[in-house]
Amino acid sequence: MDQPKTDCRSPVGLDCCNCCLDLAHKSGLQRESSGENNNPGSPTVSNFRQLQEKLIFENLNTDKLNSIMRQDSLEPVLRDPCYLINEGICNRNIDQTMLSILLFFHSASGASVVAIDNKIEQAMDLVKNHLMYAVREEVEILKEQIRELVEKNSQLERENTLLKTLASPEQLEKFQSRLSPEEPVPESPRAPEAPDGSAV
């Protein structure tokens, strides 16, 4: 891909690639054409702009990134959603899916003469792997939260049983009366009656 002569600021040179620059500025053109700032562009464009900023300012392992860009195959990046993090290339603040796709299309593997449909299919597999990993991770978090709630509920039930065992019947009755949602409404005083039976 042709690159302008301006110095690249991001470690992988994405801010100097013509196609990436077009994508990054697409949302700006959309806002200008609409005359308002209510249209921030598509989510893909917005995510790319955020990623572009993070590639410039975040602490990335430039040497490892450049090494990946020169590889003939990006199989580890395509198949393992955590590859970039596990290899110490970047941190969790960066969109792993977006960065993996960009690395694929900008690397020696993505730039080779390969049918575009094959590239798209591989990119879709990459996204699918990342989505499946994210879902599994979220399920594990929910399972852990459920386990903690079950343990807490069991502990409360044991404490409740113990208190019932230790408390006297009078204490239990007093406690139950405090928990009763309905309290007896005091009767309004009745007017005294005259000797003949009529109210005073």
Domain positions in the chain are 1-57, 59-157
Rounded to the nearest angstrom, the gap between the alpha carbon of residue 127 and the centroid of all alpha carbons in its chain is: 15
For 141, phi then psi, to 5°, come to -65, -45
**pLDDT value at residue 2:** 45
**pLDDT value at residue 125:** 77
pLDDT digits (tens, 9 = 90+) for 43-53: 556 666 666 66
Say whether pLDDT at 93 is over 60: yes
Q: Tell me what the mean pLDDT of segment 160-175 comes to.
A: 82
Say whether pLDDT at 132 is over 80: yes
Q: What is the pTM of this model?
A: 0.43
Question: Residue 48 in contact with residue 34, Cβ under 8 Å?
Answer: no
